[in-house]
Amino acid sequence: MSLSIRRRLAVSIAIALILTLTALFFTLRFTLRGILNSDIDSQLAADLQRVSAPVAAAGSLEAADLSGIVEHSSFIAVVRDLDGRDLAATRRLDAASLALSEDEISRILNGDSIEQSTEVDGEPFTVRSSRLTAGRRVIGVVQVGESSAAVSSVTDALAIAFLAAGAAAAVLSLAVGYWLARSALKPIDDVTAVAREIEASDLSRRIASRGKPEEVQRLADTFDGMLQRLDTAFQQQRNFVLDVSHELRTPLTALRGNLDVLLMQEGLDEESREQLQRMSLEVGRLIRLTSNLLYLAHVDAGRGLDRRPVAMDDLCLEVYRQAKDLRPEVKLRLGEEDQATVMGDRDLLKQMILNLVDNGLKYTPPGGDVTLSLYTDDSSARIVVKDTGPGIPPADLPQIFDRYYRGEGSGRRGGSGAGIGLAIAEWVARAHGGRIEVESEAGKGSTFTVHLPLDSGPAH
Ligand SMILES: Nc1ncnc2c1ncn2[C@@H]1O[C@H](COP(=O)(O)OP(=O)(O)OP(=O)(O)O)[C@@H](O)[C@H]1O
Ligand SMILES: [Mg+2]
Structural domain ending residue among the three candidates 137, 154, 171: 154
Q: Same domain for 228 and 313?
A: no
The residue nearest atom 29 of ligand 1, judged by CA position, is 406
Contact present, 19 and 175 (Cβ < 8 Å): no
**In angstroms, rounded to a whole number, what is the distance separating the alpha carbons of residues 159 and 153?**
10
Residues whose CB falls within 8 Å of the CB of residue 121, separated by 6 or more in sequence, listed in order:
92
CATH of the domain at 280: 1.10.287.130
The number of domains in the chain is 3
The residue nearest atom 13 of ligand 1, judged by CA position, is 406
Structural domain ending residue among the three candidates 90, 123, 154: 154
Spatial strand order of the sheet with 114-120 comes to 86-89, 76-81, 137-147, 123-134, 114-120
Contact present, 360 and 433 (Cβ < 8 Å): no
* pLDDT number for residue 207: 79
Residue 291 lies in a domain: yes
Q: Same domain for 293 and 325?
A: no
Residues at Cβ < 5 Å from ligand 2 ion:
359, 421
389 is in which domain, residue-wise? 306-460
CATH of the domain at 428: 3.30.565.10
Q: Same domain for 296 and 324?
A: no
The residue nearest atom 9 of ligand 1, judged by CA position, is 359
Contact present, 429 and 436 (Cβ < 8 Å): yes
Q: Same domain for 267 and 339?
A: no
**Residue 162, ligand 1, Cβ within 6 A:** no
Contact present, 182 and 176 (Cβ < 8 Å): no
Give the ranges where 76-121 is alpha helix by DSSP (H).
Answer: 102-109
Q: Same domain for 332 and 294?
A: no
Q: Same domain for 138 and 204?
A: no
* pLDDT number for residue 459: 44
Mean pLDDT split into 10-residue runs, the chain, 460 residues: 79 90 93 92 90 83 78 82 83 80 89 88 90 86 90 90 91 90 85 80 76 83 90 88 89 92 89 91 90 88 87 96 89 94 94 95 94 94 96 91 85 74 95 96 92 72
Q: Which of 380, 383, 318, 338 is nearest to 356 (CA)?
A: 383
* pLDDT number for residue 303: 80
Residues whose CB falls within 8 Å of the CB of residue 216, separated by 6 or more in sequence, listed in order:
187, 188, 191, 209
Q: Which of 330, 422, 449 best tests ligand 1's pocket when mutated (most atoms within 8 Å of CB)?
A: 422
Q: Same domain for 27 and 52?
A: yes
Residue 274 lies in a domain: yes
CA quadruple 385, 409, 325, 266: dihedral, nearest 10? 170
Q: Same domain for 143 and 20?
A: yes
* pLDDT number for residue 414: 60
Contact present, 132 and 109 (Cβ < 8 Å): no
Q: Same domain for 210 and 76?
A: no
Q: Same domain for 63 and 204?
A: no
